[in-house]
Amino acid sequence: MIEVYIDGASAGNPGPSGAGIFIKGQGIHEKHAIPLGVISNHEAEFHALIKALEICLENNYKAVSFRTDSELVNRAVEKEFAKNKQFAPLLDNALLLSKRFELFFMKWIPSRENKVADELARKAIRANKLEE
């Protein structure tokens, strides 16, 4: 099973944002720092999930276990419902993508266990600022 650690971050809310994605397992070790433009922190968390799902699908990974320190994203995926209507389209996109895997799991983890994805998200914020 492939383990996928995701994190979204913003410098300001909204502000320059980034997605950090760390994928490991079965000889795989990938790091992605993806600038997201100016959005809110919660939006960045959802975009990190979507980008990670897309990367996993592109690489034809069949069984994935996602880890996030975002309680909002974890709860939304678990319940297949976003309380805030602003996030509903992002959640719908993520759920559609997640159903394309043979096995998909999402687990909440504390921030201290998500340091690599957090560092990548912060790196992406800095890359965003360079593009301005």
DSSP per residue, 5-64: EEEEEESSSSEEEEEEEEEEETTEEEEEEEEEEEE-HHHHHHHHHHHHHHHHHHTT--EE
Instruction: Specify the DSSP element, H or E, that contains 2.
Output: strand 2-10
Task: Domain count for the chain, please give it.
Answer: 1
**Residues 6 or more apart whose Cβ sits within 8 Å of residue 89:** none
CATH at 120: 3.30.420.10
Q: Show pLDDT as tens, one digit a residue, over the chain (132 residues).
A: 999 999 999 999 899 999 999 999 999 999 999 999 999 999 999 999 999 999 999 999 999 999 999 999 999 999 999 999 999 999 999 999 999 999 999 999 999 999 999 999 999 999 986 655
The pTM score is: 0.96
- 3-state DSSP assignment of residue 70: coil
